[in-house]
Amino acid sequence: MLKYLIIDDEYIAHDIIKEYADMVPNMELAKHCYDALEALDYLNKQSVDLIFLDLNMPKLKGFEFLRTLSKPPKVIVTTAYQEHALEGYELNVIDYLLKPFSFARFLTAVNKVLDVATPNPIIPPTLTTEKDPSIFLRSNKKHIQVKRSTILYLEGAGNYTKVITTEETITVREKISDLLLSLPSPDFLQVHKSFVVARQHIHSIEGNRITIGDYLIPIGKYYKQLVMELLRGA
């Protein structure tokens, strides 16, 4: 069980981190702390395995707080300010999540913690290697379970991505690059800055277009070489 502490002065940040952590098996919330002094008091009495730490907090800043700990647990920084990244790595921070971050990015950071602690990181049920694994997509305040084998392609538009399956189209509030982290490579291939295709569903490739069922997917200029390598390796 990975016990974690959230240190952030924003209530919504606590809600998002806990929601994501609840989707990962064997993660247990130890305490919500809304400033670093509250966290110091807790850590003087209890121990945790991981801290999700905001930097810009009142009374005591995040990195100032870290320097007061003689034996700090693993730390994942969560902040809206990227200019402090170098300082964080000098303090052996495991990862640096820039707000707002997706579940896929959160999972990548957590698995880095587990890679340090154990050679067998926790992989949530949505990412297991079962015969026909599923992925949970968050859409309209609910999580929809989708078999990966039914996904035809992804189409990104800013902070949103449409997931086109054999049965339906699901729109999720997540960047296509982040969502791609939840899908195995090379089963899913990015062929355009706004499109990712499932290799098993490709019917044909002609010129700068890929045919999947009744859909025509454009191949971006900078992804053409990747597609050509796919053809050579087929």
Tell me the C-alpha distance between 163 and 137, whole Å: 9
**Does residue 159 share a domain with residue 223?**
yes
**Does residue 199 share a domain with residue 152?**
yes
Determine, yes or no, domain membership for 126.
no
**Does residue 147 share a domain with residue 101?**
no
Tell me the C-alpha distance between 110 and 96, whole Å: 11
**Domain range for residue 222?**
137-233
pLDDT of residue 130: 47
Determine, yes or no, domain membership for 131.
no
Determine, yes or no, domain membership for 129.
no
Domain of residue 86, CATH code = 3.40.50.2300
Q: How many domains does the chain have?
A: 2
Listed range (11-25, 78-92, 137-151, 161-175) with the worst mean pLDDT: 78-92
Sequence-distant (6+) residues with CB within 8 A of 215 are 152, 153, 164
pTM for the model stands at: 0.53
Task: Tell me the pLDDT of the chain averaged across its residues.
Answer: 84
**Does residue 144 share a domain with residue 208?**
yes
The string of pLDDT tens digits covering residues 46-75 is 999 999 999 888 888 888 898 898 888 999
pLDDT of residue 119: 41
Determine, yes or no, domain membership for 104.
yes
